[in-house]
Amino acid sequence: MAKVRSRWASKFGVIMAVAGSAVGLGNFLRFPVQAAANGGGAFMIPYFLSLFLLGLPLMWIEWTAGRYGGGFGHGTAPGIFHTLWQKNRFIKYFGVIGIFGPLVIFIYYTYIESWLLAYSYYTLSGKYFGLTSQEGMQTFLRGYQGLEHNQFFSGIGPAYLFFVITFILNITVIYYGISSGIERLSKIAMPVLLCLAVVIAVRVLTLGAPNPAHRSWSALNGLGFLWNPNFTALRDARVWLAAAGQIFFTLSVGIGVILTYASYLSHGDDVALSGLSAVSTNEFAEVILGGSIIIPAAYIFFGPEGVREVATSGAFNLGFVTMPIIFQKMALGGVFAFLWFLLLFLAGITSSVSLAQPAIAFMEDEFDISRAKAVRIAALFCFICCQPAIFFLGNGVVDELDFWGGTFCLVLFATIETILFGWVLGIEKAWEEIHRGADIRIPRVYKFIIKYITPLFLFFVLGFWFIQQGVPTILMKNVPPETRAFVLGTRIMLAVIFLTLAFLVNRAWRRKTRLERLRSEAP
């Protein structure tokens, strides 16, 4: 008797889950930095072009391919790729990227997520209150991370404790499954997250200039700093690549998570409108809310010169250094600081639980083991692999994990699945699958975009990277000598993870072949 796969309990639940996977730290930290550093309002031209030519097509491809593969009992990329191209015996190994990428991101993302839980607590306890300079808050953060011993922290113990708590919270949600765990969390966390973001954005936008001598330091001018276009920036190819990268990062496409989530849909469930709804929710959180908090707030308190330094200081500095300083300068700043870190924590956990799901679905579907056992195996494996990111944070380990798991694999995986969907399955059949049970009709121009424009766009991004950065990255040309051993060790760990997953895919298909042969020989 075939094993009954889990299902989403409601259409709203699956939309919130997919939106929760997409809405993460990048919406509120990475996006405003990217926009401010890449031409302001001009950045939005390649951003929206990337959204319409890359983001939306990939979202529909992954929703449709996931639902299609789920109908054959497959919830992860190896099985779904095999379903799309059954005549090719090797294609399932390319699907390993769709388990490998999310797993690698989960390894370091969970630790960063735990910082948000810690800062929520430290905000309530007032531990960092009184630190009103960038240097002071950076010292606090470095002490917490265990990168230095100082008056605030004597070791990594507190950070490790909050990591363990965060890890347990993630595993508990995942343990309870698709509808009772991930969907239930997303249906609560996402509306709360959006409400918190609206509250903080309204507070920031209604702030007056704190210094009468600088009346021009207003929220409106802060929005102008972010959105006034510098069209000369469009001549720089890096701006276009940054926009495409942000779309990948923010929509969680090219990872393999949406494939897995969509595999739990029924054959007639709408993917066209649901995919569009998930994208719209994410864009509202990113462009409207994410663009209305950090940069306008920094402009009000630091002015046009200070905000330039803030915008180029990096996403982590913005979230954990600059924003705590800003909130201390506001009335009821402690309350809003707590809401800020709670907002980011909810954005983080709805994303991280999605990252672990492909590995668990793979064990459930391809080895027919119980979810409880699959979660225990995945939890133990991930916990062990998390340790280098925690203890060697200052030695380039997290950057290496982020590049291979969260950047390179995304583009490579998206390229493969686009070719499979538009060319191997065939655009006519693919178009029919997208609209099966759909409540809307996607504009026909997307048939051309999915088949030609999206793959060409992806090939361009991949090719541009190989030409400009490929060889130096592979040969570690830009890695400082003192961290090369750590980077090399991280790459060895990544290779072991990938080869282990490929071996398990091989074993799973050998097992299926053996079971099919036994069934055919049975009287």
Kindly tell me if the per-residue pLDDT of 63 is higher than 60.
yes
Share of the chain above pLDDT 70, in %: 99
Quick one: pLDDT at residue 367?
94
For 332-349, how does the pLDDT look when each residue is reduced to its tens digit (9 = 90+)?
Answer: 889 999 999 999 999 999
Q: Sorting pLDDT into bands at 50, 70 and 90, what band is 60?
A: very high
Q: Report which of 303, 297, 290 is spatially closest to residue 336, judged by C-alpha positions.
A: 297
Sorted by where each begins, the domain ranges of the chain are: 11-394+402-475
For 497-516, how does the pLDDT look when each residue is reduced to its tens digit (9 = 90+)?
Answer: 999 999 999 999 999 888 87
The token duo for 369 is 């083991």
Quick one: pLDDT at residue 1?
44
Q: Sorting pLDDT into bands at 50, 70 and 90, what band is 523?
A: low
Q: Which of 131-140, 300-309, 354-363 has the highest mean pLDDT?
A: 354-363
For 206-263, how does the pLDDT look when each residue is reduced to its tens digit (9 = 90+)?
Answer: 887 776 767 788 888 888 888 888 888 888 877 887 888 888 878 888 889 999 999 9
The token duo for 74 is 């497959």
For residue 312, give the 3-state DSSP assignment.
coil
* CA 435/CA 426 separation, integer angstroms: 14
Q: Which residues contact 504 (CB under 8 A, 6 or more apart)?
A: 362, 366
Average pLDDT, whole number, for the chain? 91
For 355-367, how does the pLDDT look when each residue is reduced to its tens digit (9 = 90+)?
Answer: 999 999 999 999 9
If 0-12 CB within 10 Å is exposed, 13-18 middle and 19+ buried, where does residue 495 land?
A: exposed
CATH 1.20.1740 fits 11-394+402-475, yes or no: yes
Quick one: pLDDT at residue 362?
96
Q: Which residues contact 515 (CB under 8 A, 6 or more apart)?
A: none
The token duo for 340 is 């800020």
Partners of 229 in the beta sheet?
40
Quick one: pLDDT at residue 229?
83
Average pLDDT over residues 118-133: 94
Q: Report which of 192, 190, 170 is spatially closest to residue 181, judged by C-alpha positions.
A: 170
Q: Report which of 26, 186, 114 is spatially closest to residue 345, judged by C-alpha positions.
A: 114
If 0-12 CB within 10 Å is exposed, 13-18 middle and 19+ buried, where does residue 108 land?
A: buried
Average pLDDT over residues 313-324: 83
Q: Report which of 194, 101, 109, 99 is spatially closest to residue 411, judged by C-alpha positions.
A: 101
Q: How many residues are recorded in the chain?
A: 523
The token duo for 142 is 């470095």
Q: Report which of 29, 50, 148, 95 is spatially closest to residue 508, judged by C-alpha positions.
A: 95
